[in-house]
């Protein structure tokens, strides 16, 4: 049996589409578990009315992504456990492709399939740990310049020698491969785990409220001797970032709390310091930009951005 765990917080319409796609591709050996983190948009009522055959767990508060998934894992009965974002659409055969691979590769602790953007293009995925160079690449906004497969491959081919290994893996993602590949990291948007691996490694680290808990878990799996793989024979559409309901932006405090905790847990003091300095300068520039626009346009959105960024800047010194 496969246990599919979906943590939801105020993404009713996305969740509806995700569950409908699972229903269409479902077989009797699939158990669907929805963990609702105290949504206020009638998500719970929707699941009860339209997907009563699926299991629903309702939390009395927003526990975050890691703890929400752990709640589902505790109640999962499957041989394999799939952590799946609510902003995904599962195409027919995707679940079976991943389970077939795990069946035939006993050393594999986790697997993912090909993730697609909403327009059908292959999603850029980082297959290595995030280093300071990749962080700079994203904080500076340079990553937005290479949204298409063609642009990423062009930069990778002609400028890849200037970049670190992690950025190169972003520009030329493993998801472009037509053959199964062993990887270092799998996104929690679609991560199928072997139950034996979960029992050995334990649950997700609940110190991560949201973001980086998947990278942390992949590191723990690999340290325990399990391998991670990407298989291209299944496809899932991932509408990036929408499962966070628009609240977890580039400058959100929660995301940087998780970032700093991740670096403290897995990197040296000097890398932690470098990341804090990088975030401080990037956030300060964004703060000044937001202030200038707030004064000129009197926009509440820029004020909200500026206040969020002030918290991020303070966080750099905690």
CA distances from 217 to 124, 169, 209, 240 (A): 20, 19, 14, 20
Do 303 and 261 share a structural domain?
yes
- How far apart, in whole angstroms, are the C-alpha atoms of residue 141 and residue 250? 10
Do 168 and 55 share a structural domain?
no
pTM: 0.85
**Domain limits for position 144:** 128-172
- How far apart, in whole angstroms, are the C-alpha atoms of residue 187 and residue 185? 7
Residue 47: inside a domain, yes or no? yes
Q: What is the pLDDT of residue 176?
A: 61
Cβ distance 33 to 6 under 8 Å? yes
Residue 74: inside a domain, yes or no? yes
Residue 32: inside a domain, yes or no? yes
- How far apart, in whole angstroms, are the C-alpha atoms of residue 1 and residue 285? 50
- How far apart, in whole angstroms, are the C-alpha atoms of residue 220 and residue 184? 11
Do 295 and 260 share a structural domain?
yes
Backbone phi, psi, residue 210, to 5°? -160, 135
Count of CB atoms within 10 A of residue 49's CB?
9
Do 278 and 198 share a structural domain?
no
Do 261 and 189 share a structural domain?
no
Cβ-proximal residues to 259 (8 Å cutoff; 6+ apart), any chain = 135, 211, 212, 275, 279
Cβ distance 184 to 218 under 8 Å? yes
Do 98 and 233 share a structural domain?
yes
Helix (H, G, I), strand (E, B), or coil: what is residue 2? strand
Residue 248: inside a domain, yes or no? no
Q: What is the 3-state secondary structure (H, E, C) of 52-66?
A: CCCEEEECCCCCHHH
Residue 245: inside a domain, yes or no? no
Q: How many domains does the chain have?
A: 3
Burial 85-121 (b: 16+ CB within 10 A, else e): bbbbbbbeebbbbbbebbeebeebbbbbbbbbbeeee
Do 137 and 42 share a structural domain?
no
Residue 246: inside a domain, yes or no? no
Q: How do the pLDDT tens digits run along the chain, 318 residues long?
A: 899 999 999 999 999 999 999 998 766 689 999 999 999 999 999 999 999 999 999 999 999 999 999 999 999 999 999 999 999 999 999 999 999 999 999 999 999 999 998 888 887 665 555 566 666 656 655 555 555 566 666 666 656 555 656 555 556 555 566 789 898 889 999 999 999 999 999 999 999 998 889 999 999 999 999 999 999 889 999 987 555 544 444 557 888 999 999 999 998 999 899 889 989 988 898 899 888 888 887 677 788 888 889 999 999 998
Q: What is the CA radius of gyration of the chain?
A: 20
Cβ-proximal residues to 229 (8 Å cutoff; 6+ apart), any chain = 101, 105, 108, 110, 111, 112, 180, 181, 182, 183
Do 193 and 301 share a structural domain?
no
- How far apart, in whole angstroms, are the C-alpha atoms of residue 283 and residue 98? 39
Q: What proportions of the chain, in percent to the nearest 5, are helix, strand and coil?
A: 50, 20, 30
Do 109 and 205 share a structural domain?
yes
Give the residues across from 110 on adjacent strands: 193, 228
Do 272 and 234 share a structural domain?
no
Do 133 and 209 share a structural domain?
no
Residue 299: inside a domain, yes or no? yes
Q: What is the pLDDT of residue 134?
A: 61
Q: What is the pLDDT of residue 253?
A: 86
Residue 232: inside a domain, yes or no? yes
- How far apart, in whole angstroms, are the C-alpha atoms of residue 63 and residue 15? 18
Do 168 and 311 share a structural domain?
no
């Amino acid at each position: 049996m496969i246990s599919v765990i979906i943590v939801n917080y105020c993404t009713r319409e996305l969740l509806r589409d995700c569950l409908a796609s699972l229903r269409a591709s479902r077989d009797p050996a699939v158990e669907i578990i929805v963990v609702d983190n105290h949504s206020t948009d009638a998500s719970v009522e929707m699941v009860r009315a339209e997907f009563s055959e699926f299991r629903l767990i309702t939390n009395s508060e927003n526990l975050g992504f890691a703890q929400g998934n752990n709640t589902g894992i505790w109640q999962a009965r499957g041989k394999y456990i799939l952590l799946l974002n609510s902003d995904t659409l599962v195409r027919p055969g995707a679940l079976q492709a991943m389970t077939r691979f795990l069946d035939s590769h006993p050393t594999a602790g986790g697997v993912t399939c090909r993730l697609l953007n909403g327009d059908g293009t292959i999603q850029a995925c980082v297959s290595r740990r995030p280093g300071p160079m990749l962080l700079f690449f994203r904080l500076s906004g340079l990553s937005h310049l290479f949204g298409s497969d063609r642009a990423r491959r062009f930069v990778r081919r002609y400028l890849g020698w200037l970049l670190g290994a992690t950025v190169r893996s972003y520009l030329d993602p493993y998801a472009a491969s037509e053959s199964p590949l062993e990887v270092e990291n799998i996104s929690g948007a679609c991560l199928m785990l072997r139950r034996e691996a979960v029992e050995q490694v334990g649950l997700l680290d609940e110190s991560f409220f949201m973001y980086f808990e998947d990278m942390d878990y992949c590191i723990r799996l690999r340290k325990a001797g399990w391998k991670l793989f990407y298989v291209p024979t299944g496809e899932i559409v991932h509408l990036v970032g929408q499962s966070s309901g628009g609240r977890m932006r580039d400058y959100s405090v929660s995301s940087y709390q998780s970032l700093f905790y991740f670096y403290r847990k897995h990197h040296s003091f000097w890398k932690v310091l470098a990341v804090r300095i990088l975030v401080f300068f990037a956030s300060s520039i964004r703060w000044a930009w937001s202030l200038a626009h707030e004064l000129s346009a009197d926009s509440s959105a820029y004020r909200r951005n500026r206040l969020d960024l002030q918290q991020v800047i303070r966080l750099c010194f905690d």
